[in-house]
Structure 1
Amino acid sequence: MRDTVVRPVVKRWLVNSDRSWRALESPDSSSVVSVAGPDPDRILLVGGGITAGWGENSHESALAGSLARHIVPTTGRGLRIDVVVDDILSGTGRFDSGVTSLLRTIDAVVVTPGDLDALLLLSPAVYRRQVEGVLESITEHAPAGAQIFVLGSVPLTSLIPLSPLLRWVTTWLAGTLDNEARLACAARTNAAFISLRPDSAPDREPVVTSYENWAAMIAPTISERLDSCSDKPIR
């Protein structure tokens, strides 16, 4: 189905559509969001898609800042989030030397999927290998107690309007790729998959529409795991 239906539909839309999430403003590709407090946690937010902060002019008002506002009140500690926009899950799957250096200093890594035009052209098997490769690379370079969180794909309709057909196609395939990421994370004790899609029928438009809403879905799992390893000397 992917090759005979999905690929032609997506390619045609990419060529002919004048609606693109890339037309939205976004902050710099790398940045730091910090919240003062005792014994600060360090998180690396890396990936494409919503890590880029489409539609916002700073990472403070995008996903990184939203995560900080949800995590800090729960942990009671300070927080530093390093933001690196790098489409690793739909790209090379490898980190550059700068990211590798950051990995040695962190308590947790949050990985976001890339831009959906790239993701939707990947087969589930290829995407699974990409996720597994990223998990292995993080585990190799990060401290022993570091936690990894792989986010699911966001509803594309949260960013741009789509036709009913393309909305159904993207929702179906994104769910398939999310399941591959979920299985890859389940095989590791230091990794967790976090879905950003509410439980609903595949032809229904999801309701998640903002960085604050996404952060509210992500933060509880991160806070819980950070608290569970906060006494471990991983830095």
Structure 2
Amino acid sequence: MASSPASRMAATSASGLAFAASRAAASSRKRAARDSAAAAASASDLITVRKTIGRRPRELSCGDTRRLLRAGSSPRRTTPSSKPAGGGAPQTCSSHSANATPTPPVAPPYLRVACTQIPLLQPSPGASPSDAESRPMDTMLRPLMRSWSARAERKLQNVQRPEGPPQVHARGLDPDRILLYGSGPATGWGASHHRLALPGMLARAVAHTTHRGVDIDIRADEDIDAESSVLHLEGRDLAGYDAIVVSIGVRDAVRLTDPALWHASMIELIETLEARTTPSTQIVIASIPSIRSIRAYNSWWGDVAAHRAEAFERITREVAIQSQRTAYLALPTDASSPADEVAPERFRAWASLIAGQVLPSLAPYGRRSASSSLARDHRNQPQPELPRQRALLELGIVGTEPADGLQQIVRAARVAFGTQSAALTLVDHNRQWHHVRDGGEREVIERSRSFCSVTITGAAEMVVPDARVDRRFFRNPDVMGGAICSYAGYPIESPNGYRIGALCVFDTRPRAFSLRERSILRDLAMLAQEEIWSGAPDAVSAG
């Protein structure tokens, strides 16, 4: 027997009762990880490094090893003899010949040994198995790695990033909603728009199978690492997402984050996501892309980062196995030459794999079960009025002149539907503003008379074929006066997800709206929403 929306939402609220306790436990684990790492690093300042000549062990202090590493940044070159022993023309080193193919940088032998050396320390209680293998060497390598990664990140600042609002859509009704969160592939290296990067590829891959629309929200920033991953989710309502895809780890790998801290942070992140989402939400943790495939990181320091990324992957896989709703997804590595941007083929391959992981939780069109509609039920709940009002005011568009792009979209809506009027409305405290109107004068009316005020109580389109026989509107002054008889509207959201108004078409005659027309109305509403976000302040448009 299908449960009622109230009982399904009760299941959602029940999952949040343990949220505060899980956050406190996760914070304790992270503090313990930091303390354990510091204690292990100070336990001994001597490490055993096997010399490459003679294979005899030698003990070096941390200071000695740092000097070796500094020397390793510019290894001594062996100059060939300018004259052969038997006379004749001078010989030229083949690696310096004009036709020679440059070889990738290789770490000095002593550094390669150091990176794989197993220190003589035992793991602390509760630490992950890889902790004891990394901490002493981390103490020496981490400052050098962070200096190198800072230089590499400055090079990456010149790589193109997607422009435009952090949201993409795939055509269709009854849309599923997915959050793409993190850094790395989520930021869309080298793509001019999110539609051409991973979000757009993922939206189309999911819509192709479900035959529904898809909305993908993007919360991506290169500064998001494991330790700050929960902090960057503050203030965002996660219960309305059907799936959440997380991609982090590149920044942690190149900065040599301690595996114990990564372990504690991943537990905290997964517990937070599961506590703040519905039981029907699928959570996917994507693997870290190949470090050396990124040109800025293509050096022997990149080998050290890649080794650390492998340790992170093992930890993430083990943590994800313990969760019923979180899955670890290994993305294919790229064997091509390093590049500053991600090729569209790689985005497409990643999107196909991610779509295959989230699709089981998304029922085919028209076949939703009670458990798979919990996130949808949450999205269709009325939103708190105070933050909704604040979101509208932050956009700074109430009472202003509309942009030309919005006027063109509203005009296209009226022409496409053949109605008497079309409008883009903004719903304020107790008023409705016609921000744009085609087929009539812009006006401000009482919110109690507003059709759009009812539209924004849900996340889907609202269609009224004949308001004269609709119990919600038959006593509306505009209906009784003959100004409105038929209406169709789709809600417009702010960057942080609050419904602030609607794109609507209305007429003085009754009329039906086909599924195709409703899909067109949604497409036009998403264009208007993107136009509003593009003109918003940067802090607001980032969501």
Distance 1:139 1:91, change over 3 A: same
Match for residue 213 of structure 1 among 349, 358, 364: 349
Match for residue 283 of structure 2 among 131, 148, 152: 148
Which deviates further from its counterpart, 116-125 or 35-44?
A: 116-125
Distance 1:162 1:125, change over 3 A: same
* Segments ≥4 residues shifted beyond 6 Å: none
Report if aligned partners of 1:151, 1:196 keep a CA contact under 8 Å in 2.
yes
Gaps of 5+ in 2: 1-114, 116-133, 337-341, 377-543
How far apart, CA to CA, are the structure 1 residues paired with 2:153 and 2:235? 35
Q: SS at the partner of 2:362?
A: helix
Percent of counterpart pairs with the same letter?
A: 27
- 5 Å matches for 1:10-25? 10-17=145-152, 20-25=155-160
How far apart, CA to CA, are the structure 2 residues paired with 1:51 and 1:221? 17
Matched, 1:91 2:228: yes
Deviation string 1:199-229 (CA, Å, 9 cap, x unpaired) is: xxxxxx7458532222233221122333499
Gaps of 5+ in 1: 199-204
Deviation at 1:192, TM superposition (A): 0.3
Name the count of aligned residue pairs: 227
How far apart, CA to CA, are the structure 2 residues paired with 1:136 and 1:147? 13
Letter in 2 for 1:184: V
Which protein has greater RCO, CA pairs closer than 8 Å, 6+ apart?
Answer: 1
Distance 1:115 1:83, change over 3 A: same
- 5 Å matches for 1:52-91? 52-86=187-221, 87=224, 89-91=226-228
How far apart, CA to CA, are the structure 2 residues paired with 1:46 and 1:58? 17
Letter in 2 for 1:4: M
Q: SS at the partner of 1:111?
A: strand
Of the two, which has the highest radius of gyration?
2
Letter in 2 for 1:233: S
CA-based RMSD of the aligned residues comes to 2.8
How far apart, CA to CA, are the structure 2 residues paired with 1:137 and 1:211? 28
Aligned to 2:358: 222
Q: SS at the partner of 1:181?
A: helix
Distance 1:165 1:146, change over 3 A: same
Report if aligned partners of 1:47, 1:89 keep a CA contact under 8 Å in 2.
no
Letter in 2 for 1:215: A
Deviation string 1:30-52 (CA, Å, 9 cap, x unpaired) is: 61111122332110111112211
Provide TM-score, normalisation by structure 1: 0.83
Letter in 2 for 1:21: L
Deviation at 1:109, TM superposition (A): 0.5
Letter in 2 for 1:26: R
How far apart, CA to CA, are the structure 1 residues paired with 2:225 and 2:153? 26
Matched, 1:4 2:137: yes
Match for residue 184 of structure 2 among 49, 57, 71: 49
